[in-house]
Amino acid sequence: MKAPIFAPLSELSSLVESLNPYKIAVLTDENVEKLWLPRVLEILDGYEVLKLVIPEGEEQKSIDTAITIWDRLFDFGFTRKSLLIGLGGGVITDLAGFVASTYMRGTLLGFIPTTLMAQVDAAIGGKTGVNFHGKNIIGTFYLPNFILISLETLSTLPMVEILNGLAEIVKYAILDANVYEILRAIRDPREVTKNLELIKASVDVKLRIVREDLRESGKRRVLNLGHTVGHAIEKLSDYKIKHGFAVSIGLAAAAKVGEFLYGFDSGKVIELLERFNLPRKLPFEPEKVISAMKMDKKAWYGRIVFIVPIEIGKVSIEEVPEEVILKSLEDLT
Ligand SMILES: NC(=O)c1ccc[n+]([C@@H]2O[C@H](COP(=O)([O-])OP(=O)(O)OC[C@H]3O[C@@H](n4cnc5c(N)ncnc54)[C@H](O)[C@@H]3O)[C@@H](O)[C@H]2O)c1
Q: Distance (Å, rounded) from C-alpha 57 to C-alpha 61?
A: 8
For 155-205, what is each residue's pLDDT tens digit?
A: 999 999 999 999 999 999 999 999 999 999 999 999 999 999 999 999 999
Alpha-carbon dihedral angle through residues 253, 274, 122, 38, given to the nearest 10 degrees: 160
* Mean pLDDT confidence for 73-89: 98
Shared domain for 142 and 203, answered yes or no, is no
| Residue where a domain stops, chosen among 156, 184, 218 | 156
**Among 91, 119, 154, 223, which residue has the most ligand 1 atoms within 8 Å of its CB, making it the best to mutate?**
91
For residues 102 and 17, state if they share a domain. yes
Q: Residue 23 and residue 45: Cα distance in Å, rounded?
A: 12
Let me know whether 114 and 220 are in one domain. no
- Least confident piece of the model among 49-63, 111-125, 214-228: 214-228
The residue-averaged pLDDT of 283-298 equals 86
C-alpha 47, offset from chain centre = 30
Indicate whether residue 122 lines ligand 1 (CB < 6 A): yes
* Structural domain count of the chain: 2
Q: What angle do CA 279, 281, 285 make, to 5 degrees?
A: 135
CATH of the domain at 120: 3.40.50.1970
Residue 221 and residue 99 share a domain: no
Widest pairwise Cα distance in the chain: 63
- Give the domain-ending residue among 137, 156, 175: 156
CB distance 309 to ligand 1 below 6 Å: no
Helix (H) / strand (E) element for 210: namely helix 196-212
Cα separations in angstroms, 295 against 136, 154, 221, 282: 17, 36, 18, 18
Residue 140 near ligand 1, beta carbon < 6 Å: no
Q: Which residues contact 220 (CB under 8 A, 6 or more apart)?
A: 125, 209, 210, 212, 213, 214
Cα 48 → chain centroid: 30
224-225-231 Cα angle (round to 5): 60
The pLDDT-based confidence of 212 (bands split at 50, 70, 90) is very high
Q: Which of 73-77, 107-111, 133-137, 151-155 has the lowest mean pLDDT?
A: 133-137
The band of 116, judged by pLDDT with boundaries at 50, 70 and 90, is: very high
| Positions of E strands within 190-279 | none
Is 33 close to ligand 1, i.e. is its CB under 6 Å away? Answer: no
Q: What is the pLDDT of residue 303?
A: 67
115 lines ligand 1 (CB under 6 A): yes
Distance 330 CA to ligand 1 centre (A): 31
pLDDT tens, position by position, 29-73: 999 999 999 999 999 999 999 999 999 999 999 999 999 999 999
Distance from C-alpha of 96 to C-alpha of 101, rounded to nearest angstrom: 8
Q: What is the pLDDT of residue 297?
A: 52
Q: Is 325 in the pocket of ligand 1 (CB under 6 A)?
A: no
pLDDT-derived band of residue 12, with 50, 70 and 90 as boundaries? very high
pLDDT at residue 301, rounded to an integer: 53
Angstrom distance (rounded) from CA 63 to CA 98 = 10
Residues 237 and 222 in one domain: yes
What average pLDDT does range 13-29 have in this prediction? Answer: 98
User: Which residues does residue 150 pair with via DSSP β-bridges, in sequence order?
Assistant: none
Q: How much is the pLDDT for 217?
A: 83
Considering the domain architecture, whether residues 170 and 256 belong to the same structural domain is answered as yes
Q: Are residues 268 and 176 in the same domain?
A: yes
pLDDT-above-70 percentage for the chain:
98
Predicted local confidence at residue 128, as pLDDT: 98
% residues pLDDT > 90 (the chain): 92
Pick the last residue of a domain from 156, 177, 196: 156
- Quick: pLDDT tens for 300-322: 555 678 999 999 999 999 999 99
Position in ligand 1 atom list of the atom nearest CA 153: 31
| Residues 8 and 150: beta-carbon distance below 8 Å | yes
Q: In whole angstroms, what is the distance from residue 153 CA to residue 10 CA? A: 12
190 burial type by CB count under 10 A (0-12 exposed, 13-18 middle, 19+ buried): middle
**Among the atoms of ligand 1, which is closest to the Cα of residue 164?**
15
**Which has the minimum average pLDDT: 83-87, 178-182, 271-275, 302-306?**
302-306
Same domain, 86 and 229: no
Same domain for 79 and 194, yes or no, is no
> Helix, strand, or coil here: 327?
helix
- The parent domain of residue 322 ranges over 159-330
Instruction: Select from 319, 321, 253 the least CA-distant residue to 284.
Output: 253
pLDDT (0 to 100) of residue 127: 97
The yes-or-no verdict on residue 237 having pLDDT over 90 is: yes
Residues 140 and 192 occupy one common structural domain: no
Q: Which of 188, 184, 180, 128 shows the shortest CA–CA distance to 162?
A: 188
* Per-residue pLDDT, 294: 85
Residues 35 and 71 in one domain: yes
The verdict on 179 and 299 lying in the same domain is yes
Sign of the CA dihedral 196, 92, 278, 157? Answer: positive
